[in-house]
Amino acid sequence: MKLVLDTNMYCDYAEGLQEVVDIVAVYGETLLIPSPVLGELYYGFMKGSRREYNERKLRELIKRLNIEVIEISAEVARRYATIYLSLERKGTRIPINDVWIAACCMEAGGTLLTRDRHFETVEQIETIIVK
């Protein structure tokens, strides 16, 4: 299965949370991370006191786990518009970065691994919601 990591799942994995480590080990034939997730991570790293350590750990995990970065492309932008319009028509709002994350997931054909239940409202993607 192609597993797309949300920001909270990267953090949980990096911290060694057993439940997430197990899910990644069992289902993560291919691991992907959307570039908006990287933006959220770098923002958090810059605000914190261990920026260099966290950035190094991110680079090492991406390399060791062979995580593919999903870049924002014209097709991802088209997927973003589809998802955003669908949510708007339903009267549903989710954080705008999460619309981009969902668009990346949709373009990659992956399953989003997340803690955020609001992704259940995005009909265009499959999700695994960790409670």
Domains of the chain: total: 1
Domain span at residue 90 reads 2-129
- Which residues are within 8 A (CB) of 40 and not within 5 positions of it... i.e. 6 or more apart? 7, 97
Residues in the chain: 131
The CATH number given to whatever domain includes residue 71 is 3.40.50.1010
pLDDT at res. 85: 98
Question: Each residue of 47-62: pLDDT tens digit?
Answer: 999 999 999 999 999 9
pTM for the full model?
A: 0.96
pLDDT at res. 17: 97
**Phi and psi based region of residue 6 (left: phi greater than 0; alpha: psi -120 to 50; beta: remaining):** beta
